[in-house]
Chain A
Amino acid sequence: MFEPLVRYFSSPSNREVLFEQFAQHVYMALVPLVVGVLLALPLGRLAQRVRWLRAPLLGGAGIVYTLPSLAVFVLLPSLIGTGYTSPLNVIIALTLYTAALLVRPVLDALEAVPSHVTTAAEALGYRPRRRFLSVELPLAVPALTSAVRVASVSNISLISVGALIGVGGLGRLFTVGFERPDVVQTVVGIVATVLLALAVDLLLVGLWRLLTPWERAGGAVIGE
């Protein structure tokens, strides 16, 4: 059963295509993740601070997330004037999805910061922005991590859809594999996608551990 695989990988052109599409996939997955998080943070903060904006922001985010991805990929070029096969379409769409998916978790994570901690920060003389960046945001990280992990996996799988409109990524291996038909190519594409999702997830877990050392501070409480 390994024979077709060996044959697939022995072809330099196959390997080149795989690596190229893999790199493209990583690029198209990570850029929207990072930009989406950076967009969701201020939006979630806004929803937390400005009461009347909360419902429209959360509602809007919900609507964005329900838009069919293929439709967005197809419609974006006519809306913003990009080429039909430009990776930018996928990147912008996924950025919107990521931001939409994360607005509520950001809000929830910020709301979960204990009020005595934020009150203390205010009373000690933090100005609002510094308080947000150095007290509330670090404390929101644990609650945010799981949502960011979901968003990253969801992005990685959504990019495959982009192949249907001719944008690169590992999805190209599915479409090509389907047309030929070439099962090996499809399987390689699936495995690579799964491995990528796992790798990014591990990366996020590592990042979370790096950012939240206090969460794992063990040791018993020493008595009075």
Chain B
Amino acid sequence: MIEFRTVRKQYDDGAVAVQELSLTVRAGTVTALVGPSGCGKTTLLRMVNRMIEPSSGTVLLDGHDVRDSDPAVLRRGIGYVIQQAGLFPHRTVRDNVATVPMLFGRSRRRARRDAEELIERVGLSREMGGRYPSQLSGGQQQRVGVARALAADPPVLLMDEPFSAVDPVVRAGLQDELMRLQEELGKTVLFVTHDIDEAIKLGDRVAVLRQGGHLAQYAPPEELLARPADDFVTSFVGRDRGYRRLSFVDSAGLDPAPVDTVHIGDTSADVPSRAEWVLALDAHERPRGWLHPNATVRGQLTEDQLIAGGSLHTLGSPLRGALDAALSAPSGLGVVVDGDGGFVGVVTARHVLDLIEARQHPALTEGAA
């Protein structure tokens, strides 16, 4: 657990980076610190491992004032991931990951062996261990950065905009990977970002900071989207928050309806012409695309005769995906799949909206019915 107790940071030139701020990060959870530049989020983060000392107030780590620990020893017990990864260019990936265990005095051999396991754990191949950081892509370097931070198995992880220097696709992959790792490891994570979407995606709780180090709101992401504390948070959270909040609404009660299906490779005889959209599946029952109403199939049904489908909604995942599946499908029918990608049924946007309204105004819908 990390506790900030009325911490304040004022620099010698009078600039106030953090203004009497209190905040608790519960053990085993991810707290995202988010805000515009100059809001003191990195300052706050660095108070935890004493890279910055507060002017007043205390920071407690599992109930102990961090000032009672020797800074270097304290830092070895806290994982740290930095923007651009901060890997040592003169050391191989393996030796980068082995850094902290070796600072702890573990033998080089043991540290390297453990490092190789970690390299695999963050989704890289073992052979990467012998490479130098310059031979890795930005995303791979970040993975190594995470592996290095985890090497001594610290209970607390500090992450300072770790994914901001990579492109959006790679970033999304790294975020998913981090969530998967966190599921396994259950670290106490303090994550600094300027990207509200990243904060909402990764944080169990999100702390929105305002310029000058004021805490504007500290709440779980769905609450942040549903009830922003003030105009600043509202504008910072940004557009589409009603829609984005659906990411936190589960889709229980959404019953997919059946739809006519055909299979790739079926002959024209199996595909009677009809005035409805028909969903094409592959041999594993996975959706491949739509067959336009009245489309005639000559010979065998092949993929190039299909119209690309929309996004897929996985059964049991949040409602946002279901609505998006319906809105993005050419047929207006959102395709629902199971965990293995197999076809389950379809939902319409109307279907999803009715469910949302029923959740928001249960009495009203009941009365109408």
Contacts and interface: CB of A to CB of B under 8 A. Distances in A.
Given A139-B90, A219-B135, A223-B137, A116 B84 contact: yes
A138 interface: yes
Interface stretch (B72-80, B178-186, B198-206, B299-307): B72-80
Interface in A179-224: 212, 214, 217-224
Contact of A125 (B89, B91, B100, B140): B100
A6 interface: no
Interface in A89-129: 114, 116-117, 119-127
B362 interface: no
Given A123-B75, A124-B75, A124-B103, A139 B89 contact: yes
Contacts of B132: 214, 217
A132 to B, nearest CB: 13
B75 A125 contact: yes
Interface string B254-294: 00000000000000000000000000000000000000000
Contacts, number: 83
B57 to A, nearest CB: 21
A124 B100 contact: yes
Given A122-B75, A123-B75, A124-B148, A116 B82 contact: yes
A35 interface: no
Nearest to B169: A224
A123 B298 CA distance: 66
Interface of A: 114, 116-117, 119-127, 135, 138-139, 212, 214, 217-224
A126 B103 contact: yes
B51 interface: yes
Contact of B140 (A119, A127, A214, A224): A224
Nearest to B145: A120
A120 B49 contact: no
Interface in B66-99: 72-77, 80, 82-91, 99
Contacts of B99: 124
Given A125-B72, A139-B90, A224-B137, A219 B131 contact: yes
Contacts of A218: 135
21 contacts: A117-B87, A120-B82, A120-B88, A121-B86, A122-B75, A123-B75, A123-B86, A124-B76, A125-B73, A125-B74, A125-B100, A135-B90, A138-B90, A139-B90, A214-B89, A214-B90, A222-B128, A222-B136, A222-B137, A224-B137, A224-B140
Given A116-B85, A224-B139, 12 more contacts: A120-B85, A120-B87, A123-B51, A124-B75, A126-B72, A139-B89, A214-B132, A217-B134, A219-B131, A219-B135, A222-B135, A224-B173
Nearest to B92: A214
B83 A214 contact: no
Contacts of A120: 80, 82, 85-88
Contacts of B76: 124-125
A127 B136 CA distance: 28
A217 B136 CA distance: 11
Interface of B: 49, 51, 72-77, 80, 82-91, 99-100, 103, 128, 131-132, 134-137, 139-140, 148, 158, 170, 173
Q: Please provide the 5 A-B residue pairs with the shortest distance between their CB atoms, ordered closest to farther.
A: A120-B86, A125-B76, A125-B75, A123-B80, A217-B132
Contacts of A222: 128, 135-137, 140
Nearest to B133: A214
A124 to B, nearest CB: 5
Contacts of A116: 82-86
Contacts of B136: 221-222
Contacts of A127: 72
B317 to A, nearest CB: 24
Given A116-B82, A135-B88, A214-B132, A123 B49 contact: yes
B2 to A, nearest CB: 15
Contact of A217 (B86, B135, B140): B135
Given A116-B84, A224-B170, A214 B134 contact: yes
Nearest to B75: A125
Contact of A122 (B51, B73, B84, B140): B51
Contacts of A219: 131, 135
Nearest to A224: B139
Contacts of A217: 131-132, 134-135
A125 B77 CA distance: 8
With a 10 A CB-CB cut-off, give which of A124, A138, A219 has the most chain B CB atoms: A124
B195 to A, nearest CB: 19
Nearest to A115: B86
Most buried by B among A121, A126, A218: A126
A220 B136 CA distance: 8
Given A117-B89, A214-B132, A217-B131, A124 B139 contact: no
